[in-house]
Amino acid sequence: MAIHQCRTIHISILIGILLISGCQNKQHISSNKPFGLVIHGGAGTILKKNMSEELESEYIEKLKESLHAGYTVLENQGSSLDAIQAAITILEDSPLFNAGKGAVFTNAGTNELDAAIMDGKTLNAGAVAGVKRIKNPLYLARLVMEKSPHVLLTGEGAEAFAEENGIELISPDYFFTEQRWEQLQQLKEQQDKSVSDLMQQNINTESANHLFGTVGCVALDQEGNLAAGTSTGGLTNKRFGRVGDVPIIGAGTYANNQTCAVSATGEGEYFIRSVIAYDISALMDYRKMSLQNAADRVIMEKLTDLGGTGGIIAIDNNGHIAISFNTSGMYRGYIDMDGEMSIKIYKY
């Protein structure tokens, strides 16, 4: 009887050891899978000579905070969708960037926000446009993807959907910042000048820099799933309910597990007409181009030849990262598959 009990105990211990070993091996294998995250805070006329050391430090610290928030999710075997939401929420809540709290003003003196998110595993996507009372539009875009049969909801309809799903609508006053208001007034004083004139002549660089802007994130998680998300306040002084590329799936936001995830920033009209984000994926799929080559082909050649300005961040299904832009600067950062962090603002 004693011998039988002893054998039973030994067998139990052995099973326990095997189970623990199996879990450890599973975790080890999982941790060896490539994963990474890339963020951006907009591209434009961003010149070091026009940036104070204090402001530059603020941008770098906020980008670092966003990277850490998203990467921590991935590091703990969370999903690429959760990582993107964590990273972008940090940027939406900061007045430094043209999204959420830092959204620019329309011609009517309001703030109209757009956002989109896409799941590379399922090709499901959700987007919102022209919302005025949503603190974190990216979160609402995800709810559209996960809790509705639709892809894109706009304006009051999107806000009604938000209320039905437990999102508290906030006062539009939340989005007011003195800096953005002043930028609107400066642009109104120069109504006769086009966006291109302001950019090329470097008239009031700070205003030109924020004529348009976006925040975005792309991620690859340990399960091999890609996702992309983008959020923006749109174009300063925009009129007539203008909507840019951000909530247009394939233009400013795209993800496909077979190729890559892309988030764009720049002159939205050009990105819509060129279907920029999807075009990068298509070149990888049909032409078998590498991620960086595909990104450069689309941004540095196609977009540039068309006369558009801006850039993209991207990550492929092997964890390779690509960043391409044809402007003087782009707020950007990444943590790659080796855990190495990089944060940059200027082109060189």
> Contact, 277 vs 256, CB < 8 A?
no
pLDDT value at position 192? 54
- Per-residue pLDDT tens digits for 133-177: 999 999 999 999 999 999 999 999 999 999 999 999 999 999 999
> Contact, 131 vs 153, CB < 8 A?
no
DSSP string, 256-311: -TTSEEEEEEE-HHHHHHHTHHHHHHHHHHHS---HHHHHHIIIIIIIHHHT--EE
Sign of CA dihedral 21, 24, 26, 32: negative
pLDDT value at position 189? 86
pLDDT value at position 27? 38
Domain boundaries in the chain?
A: 1-32, 34-346
Tell me the whole-structure pTM to 2 decimals.
0.86
pLDDT value at position 92? 98
The SS3 assignment for 242 reads: coil
Domain 34-346 fold: Glutamine Phosphoribosylpyrophosphate, subunit 1, domain 1 (3.60.20)
pLDDT value at position 32? 76
- Per-residue pLDDT tens digits for 264-322: 999 999 999 999 999 999 999 999 999 999 999 999 999 999 999 999 999 999 999 99
Residues of the chain with pLDDT under 50: 1-30, 198-210
pLDDT value at position 213? 82
pLDDT value at position 190? 81
Return all residues near 320 (Cβ < 8 A) that are at least 6 apart: 290, 291, 292
Within its chain, how far is the Cα of 98 from the centroid?
12
Q: Which residues pair with 334 in a beta bridge?
A: 38, 342
Between CA 282 and CA 92 the distance in angstroms is: 30
Active site positions, annotated: 214
